Amino acid sequence: MQFDLAQLPTALQQSIRKSAHASSDSSSPQFSISDIAHDHIQSALRLRAALLHDVGGRGGHGHAHGRDRNHAAVGLLDQTIGVLYGYLRANVHVNVNAANVNVDLRRRLASLALSNSNSSFSFDSSVSALSAVRTLPDLPHELVEQILAWIHPAAVLRLRRLSRAVNNMLLAPHFAKLSLGNFLHPSNYNDGNGVVCGGNNTPQTLRLRHQQMASQLDVLFFHWPPSYQMYYISAYIGAKTSIEWSHWPLAASIPACIANLTRLVSLDLSYCNLVGEIPSSLFSLTSLESLKLYENSLHGALSDEIGNLVNLRVLNLHSNGLCGRLPAALAKLSLLTYLNLGYNRFCGAIPRELGSLLMLRNLCLSDNRLTGSVPEEFGFLVVLQYLFLQNNLLVGDIPASVARLPGLIACEMKGNQGLTCSFEHDPMVLEF
């Protein structure tokens, strides 16, 4: 088998060249590649032991694909150690007084033939002797990156505990790009509209409905550090116009970087066990026409910035733990046809400004802690079909104009002990 300098990882090439130049400044006119190989092979063995123990032993449970990638990473490391061991056995010396050090290295190493017996190596005894080593070895930074980048993103971040240096490496934007790039290929890229791009496929022949479903990496996106989230958005989901990932057990908060999904028209994260507050950055997605975050565990107040989503037609936040007053800024969403804020903890009076939402067909504010009276302005909602205000703390007389809305199909106000009705009404339409 023929080996030359170009077959080694870039970082190791640089290490060899650096040693060659350093030797040219000393009294010794040549250096031994075997010396460098010896230093790196010890480090490589320690890294191999750490990978097998910390990833293969702990992090792979439940991730069969991840375990395969872990084995691939160890296999890649085995090949590197094999090359290093071959140089160790060959004990090649390079004359650094040659006119061009890099060319001389390449020429001499290219002429070195290593037999299969020279390049084979048994790792069992070496790994056993070094299995107790718990610190990351002093391998070239680039080589460590290349190896760890083949561990599945679901597992690689567990290695952050190995050392501060590894933690910094894994969180760097450069590594995020390297790692995700190994597991996402342009031929599998979804343009966000159910169209797979790349290869010989065309949008006309590959409009696949299941592409709207969240993948494993889509789920991981909610748990990743910001560097991974930003790269995932910029390279792979930033072009999406629709995200329909309901009923996935995300068990995470909505990341602030969701504001970078600037093309989103529809976002559905219902039944995803989302926690935390709705980030204000989400309200910068002014192209949104449909926002569904219902049946989660979101809490906190609904910001006045909701009024920025001027293109919204559907807003469904029911069954969360949202609290505080209903923002009057909701009235800025003049295109709304469906508004559901029921089953939360909103309190205070119903904003009269909601009476200006003239396209509203369905309004649900039930099961909150709303006080005050039913706004007279609701009588202006001439296309309203469904009005649900039950189980609040509302008081006063129900406006007759509300009960007489021409398109009203159902109006429920029961569970408000302070409400009264002073006019005749159809009990099949108005319940209180």
Same domain, 92 and 130: yes
Which of 35-39, 57-61, 277-281 has the least mean pLDDT? 57-61
Cα separation, 328 vs 124, whole angstroms: 70
Alpha-carbon distances, residue 247 vs 198, 244, 269, 293 (angstroms): 29, 9, 8, 11
pLDDT, average across residues 392-397: 95
The pLDDT-based confidence of 151 (bands split at 50, 70, 90) is: confident
Q: Which residue has the higher pLDDT, 282 or 104?
A: 282
Residue 231 lies in a domain: no
Asked which of 140, 168, 185 is the last residue of a domain, the reply is 140
How many separate domains does the chain show?
3
* Kind plus residue range of the DSSP H or E element containing 379: none
- What is the per-residue pLDDT across 159-190, written as a single tens digit (0 to 9) for each? 888 778 888 989 999 999 988 988 875 444 44
Same domain, 319 and 418: yes
What whole-number percentage of the chain has pLDDT above 70? Answer: 60
Determine the structural domain holding residue 45 and report its residue range: 5-140
Q: Which residue has the higher pLDDT, 105 or 337?
A: 337
Residue 46 lies in a domain: yes
Cα separation, 76 vs 65, whole angstroms: 17
Degrees, nearest 5: CA angle 212-216-221: 90
| Model pLDDT, residue 366 | 97
Provide CB contacts within 8 A for 133, sequence distance 6+: 46, 49, 50
Same domain, 199 and 317: no
The pLDDT-based confidence of 126 (bands split at 50, 70, 90) is: very low
| Model pLDDT, residue 214 | 66
pLDDT, average across residues 401-426: 88
Same domain, 181 and 329: no
Residue 359 lies in a domain: yes
Same domain, 385 and 331: yes
Same domain, 315 and 190: no
Residue 342 lies in a domain: yes
Same domain, 320 and 373: yes
The pLDDT-based confidence of 64 (bands split at 50, 70, 90) is: low
- What is the per-residue pLDDT across 202-238, written as a single tens digit (0 to 9) for each? 333 223 333 345 678 888 999 999 999 999 999 889 9
* Cβ(142)–Cβ(80) below 8 Å: no
The pLDDT-based confidence of 318 (bands split at 50, 70, 90) is: very high
Q: Which residue has the higher pLDDT, 331 or 120?
A: 331
Same domain, 177 and 102: no
Residue 237 lies in a domain: no
Please report the beta strands in 240-350, taking only residues with DSSP state E, as ranges in sequence order. Answer: 242-244, 266-268, 275-276, 290-292, 297-301, 314-316, 321-325, 338-340, 345-349
The pLDDT-based confidence of 11 (bands split at 50, 70, 90) is: low
Same domain, 25 and 110: yes
The pLDDT-based confidence of 316 (bands split at 50, 70, 90) is: very high
Which of 18-22, 47-51, 191-195, 390-394 has the least mean pLDDT? 191-195
Same domain, 275 and 372: yes
CATH code, domain carrying 425: 3.80.10.10
Provide CB contacts within 8 A for 310, sequence distance 6+: 286, 332, 333, 334, 335
Asked which of 199, 226, 253 is the last residue of a domain, the reply is 226
pLDDT, average across residues 82-91: 53
* Cβ(348)–Cβ(328) below 8 Å: no
Query: Does residue 396 carry a pLDDT above 50?
Result: yes
Residue 122 lies in a domain: yes
Query: Does residue 200 carry a pLDDT above 70?
Result: no
Asked which of 140, 172, 203 is the last residue of a domain, the reply is 140
* Helical segments of 100-157, H only: 101-110, 116-119, 124-130, 141-148, 153-156
3-class SS at 308? helix
Same domain, 66 and 163: no
- What is the per-residue pLDDT across 157-166, written as a single tens digit (0 to 9) for each? 888 887 788 8
Query: Does residue 68 carry a pLDDT above 60?
Result: no
Query: Does residue 405 carry a pLDDT above 80?
Result: yes
Name the CA dihedral angle for 74, 75, 76, 81, rounded to a multiple of 10 degrees. Answer: 90
Both tokens of residue 182?
């190994």
Label residue 319 left, alpha or beta by phi (over 0 means left) and psi (-120 to 50 means alpha). left
Same domain, 263 and 389: yes
Phi, psi of 387 (to 5 degrees): -130, 115
* Cβ(78)–Cβ(165) below 8 Å: no
Query: Does residue 272 carry a pLDDT above 90?
Result: yes
Cα separation, 151 vs 149, whole angstroms: 5
